[in-house]
Structure 1
Amino acid sequence: MTLKISHLTGGYGQTNTIKDLNFTIEAGTVTALIGLNGSGKTTTINHVIGLMQPKSGSISFNGQDSKSDSSNYQRNLAYIPELPIIYEDLTLREHIQTTIAAYHLDSKLIKDKIAKLLKVFRLEDKLAWFPIDFSKGMRQKVMIVLALLTDAPLLVVDEPFIGLDPLAVSDLIDLLKEKKAAGTTILMSTHLVEGAEKFVDQFLLIDRGRIRAKGKMKDIFKAFPQQKTINEIYLHLAREAANG
């Protein structure tokens, strides 16, 4: 199942934050958006998950258009946000039950999967707790558990490692590798390029709303032959932007 972005332009108000983006993500592969803050990574993700509508261009997954066939498109999608979205009056167990209901899942069939995810992120003894009272890292783990229990064929992840301890980062990378091996199509944004290199198939370097370079990290560096590290590339882009 392929995610296809064609001539995508969009943004806030009259401003086009992203401009004529074109890329595809095949099933069983991971594409990572990288770039400076404000480059258009999160805006791209917000269009893919349906929070924003394109001003022009299209987004489709497995042939289902995000605008004209939005219901079917959304059923195939799971999302891990950068900032956890927690329901104040629901316990962890109730968050899980709400996700099961929203995706029409069979709670008996996914019982073992839920137990595994809760154990991996050390949440198995907190089902009766209210995640609103959790730390930022623990709330992020709740978001990961809810998204991964769905088995949605399209997984969108916005800065998944922020706020997680090193063990949780390692656990999440292992789970993303499992999803990739199972054929999930994965789009993510991240600043942790070195850790992502081990499982990301394609990097898209976004610069002021456009794709500046794409491919493996070696391809990104080929586009910036004078820079030797990703931080040097980011500094170069910042200087370019400052000089207009």
Structure 2
Amino acid sequence: MVLNIEKLTGGYSKTAVIHDISFNIKAGEIVGLIGLNGAGKSTTIKHILGLLNPQAGRIEVNGIEIGEDTEEYRRALAYIPESPILYEELTLNEHIDMTIMAYGLEEGMAWERAEQLLKVFRLDEKGEMFPTHFSKGMKQKVMLICAFIVEPDLYIIDEPFLGLDPLGIESLIELMVSERTEGRSILMSTHILSTAERYCDRYVILDDGRLLVSGTIDELRDGLGMPGASLDELYLSLTGGAGSNESTPS
């Protein structure tokens, strides 16, 4: 099991935001984390990343809790936030170099992969540019490149399609599917349910800080008695008809 979460309760203070959440991700799976603003998606992600301490429950990556071996735990993860976080004083190439050093990657192989990714995202001639000259979409692509050169066991991607142009979205989806084929796993928080339905193997649906349901699309259909329903229709049924097309994650 790449990621295992058992009875996770936590938040930003003594008041819990998420309650008793349990789910897992196996090797070679893309799992969609679905929910409205305030559902608990971002809080769950921050707990997985080790940015928040659980009030109860446990989180394991490759069978290791972060307190057991922090370096090994974090080395198995790559995180791509919704809003790109770059250093204005570093060029694109220097961001790649920093990632290689931070993860202790073999430089030659990492740069080979980086050069391929730079071409995929059409940034191969932007290596000496600084982030101040980048659009939001270009900044997002830099984050994607830095994450995908790592080739971790688990990618955590928060709203991956926001800010990307159609070609960028297509390239990202192809990369995600390729990584799944290589046995790597992805936890993807998204509001674009039609895309999630096409590419995710399973879904974890949160509402008001609690797990509503998790499973494959067929398991969700069977559980709700809605054969042939789309993920949008299942989600609307589960949440009592609340809108599912908001653009900002929780």
User: Do the structures match in fold with TM over 0.5?
Assistant: yes
Q: Deviations over 1:179-198 (max 9, x none)?
A: 11111121110111111222
In 2, the alpha carbon distance for the partners of 1:116 and 1:109 equals: 11
RMSD of Structure 2 on Structure 1 (CA) = 1.9
Match of 2:177 in 1: 177
Q: Counterpart of 1:64 in 2: which secondary structure?
A: coil
2:236 to 232, 236, 241: 232
- Between the aligned partners of 1:63 and 1:126, the Cα distance in structure 2 is 39
- Tell me by how many angstroms 1:237 deviates: 5.7
Amino acid at match of 2:71: S
In 1, Cα distance between equivalents of 2:56 and 2:49: 16
Could you list the structure 1 runs, at least 4 aligned residues long, displaced by more than 6 angstroms after superposition.
none
Contact 1:207 1:237 in 2 (8 A): no
**2:204 matches 1:204:** yes
Name the aligned partner's letter for residue 49 of structure 2.
Answer: I
Deviation at 1:234, TM superposition (A): 7.2
Post-superposition shift, 1:121? 0.5
What are the equivalent positions in structure 2 for 1:64-103 lying under 5 Å apart?
64-103=64-103
Q: Any stretches of 5+ residues in structure 1 without a counterpart?
A: 240-244
User: Is the contact made by 2:2 and 2:153 (CA closer than 8 Å) also made in structure 1?
Assistant: no
Query: Does 2:23 match 1:23?
Result: yes
Give the deviation of 1:217 after TM superposition.
Answer: 2.9
* Cα displacement (A) at 1:8: 0.6
Asked if 1:121 corresponds to 2:125, the answer is no
Q: Deviations over 1:27-65 (max 9, x none)?
A: 111111101111001111111111111111111111111
CA displacement, residues 112-135 of structure 1 (integer Å, 9 cap, x when unaligned): 211110011110000000123311
Residues 236 and 242, structure 2, Cα contact 8 Å, conserved in 1 = no
Distance 2:56 2:235 in 1: 32
Shift of the alpha carbon at 1:225?
5.4
Identical aligned pairs, as a percentage? Answer: 44
- 1:118-197 alignment, distance < 5 Å: 118-197=118-197
Once residues 234 and 88 of structure 1 are traced to their aligned partners in structure 2, the CA distance between those partners, rounded to angstroms, is: 43
C-alpha separation in 2, matches of 1:58 and 1:127: 41
**How many residues matched?**
239
